[in-house]
Structure 1
């Protein structure tokens, strides 16, 4: 009897072993979490990105992307300046307005004011060629009044010259009263007149002139013109 019992015990144990083995294989195949204890332990436990993942700072199309929180670069192109008013021309009667004003101080003086009414800057070269009445010649210029640079008038700006009408002490000769005046403008050389002349009005009673008549060079400021 004991022999039969021992044989039955061996059969039951063998059957149990077969069942456990079958259950172990089933668990490994269905991925329910049973792991192979014999797997290699040399593999890194730290996760790594797939080989085809884009690098940091680049888009999936291979173009660089701005870091988080950065702003797009500003457009640093310099704005275009306004176009220039044009190449300067010579001041003359058709593009200027001339005013003649007799002065109390200095005595026997008259101030000429020329304003650029054109759209381009203009040069007032040398001095005004003034002609009173029917005079055949223009008066001389005071050489000491020559400015350091040619007077340039932007549109709307004015230049000045003074005219010494007669000797303050009455020593001048050939004194007379004139009621009309023409102002001509010189070119660069100073030896010829250019363009149209100006015809500023004189007082109704006219102005008294004599042979001591002379003019200054054109000046950039009124104060400089009245110095002479």
Structure 2
């Protein structure tokens, strides 16, 4: 009888221990569920934003180039000394006055060489520089027209006379062999002066003295352009 009670007592103790273990396990599980915060979900890595692309650098605009001729002139640029050519092909100096009868003295002197030529010498008697434009417009006696000019004698620039300086032109009066046609002897001469355009006479004319016997002229009568030097004038 005592053995049976002892066995039952032992079985009850084991059962009690097993129930206690189960209760302890249940408590631990509940503590895990209620006592610990839920683990945070792993952060999802967002794809990295593409790096901002720097705007392309606009190349600097180059200053227009061009042949100096396509380039615009500066307002400070001084005019070239060759600017403003007159109809004689020379350069208009752009200052001073036009040579004419009132500010010059004109002399007509026959030449030995070349023969049948007269040298006209115009001297500036004024106080300002004057310019001899183109060629002398000549009137012998009562002629109604002026003799033509020798185009090949055109100078490179306008003849410029400072006070006291002289310019020159030579006049071919007639041919040496008589091939110049009919002619006559003239005892008076008037020299008129051109302006820059070459189409007008300006100021007063000059009336240089001629030899007492006069000068023989024929249809070949012609004159040179005004020249800066006597040698240039007498070479025609």
Taking structure 1 as the reference length, what is the TM-score of the superposition?
A: 0.62
What is the aligned partner in structure 2 of residue 210 from structure 1? 218
SS at match of 1:172: coil
**Is it true that 1:168 corresponds to 2:176 in the alignment?**
yes
Q: CA RMSD in A?
A: 1.1
Give the C-alpha shift of residue 104 in structure 1: 1.1
Give the C-alpha shift of residue 97 in structure 1: 0.0
* Count, aligned residues: 143
What is the aligned partner in structure 1 of residue 96 from structure 2? 88
Mark the structure with the bigger radius of gyration: 2
SS at match of 1:201: coil
SS at match of 2:185: strand
What is the aligned partner in structure 2 of residue 159 from structure 1? 167
Once residues 157 and 181 of structure 2 are traced to their aligned partners in structure 1, the CA distance between those partners, rounded to angstroms, is 34
What is the aligned partner in structure 1 of residue 234 from structure 2? 226
What is the aligned partner in structure 2 of residue 197 from structure 1? 205
What is the aligned partner in structure 2 of residue 17 from structure 1? none
Once residues 104 and 157 of structure 1 are traced to their aligned partners in structure 2, the CA distance between those partners, rounded to angstroms, is 24
What is the aligned partner in structure 1 of residue 158 from structure 2? 150
Alignment of 1:52-201 (within 5 A): 87-201=95-209
Give the C-alpha shift of residue 160 in structure 1: 0.2
Give the C-alpha shift of residue 174 in structure 1: 2.3
Q: Deviations over 1:147-193 (max 9, x none)?
A: 00000000000000000000121111121000000000000011111
SS at match of 2:102: helix
SS at match of 1:111: strand
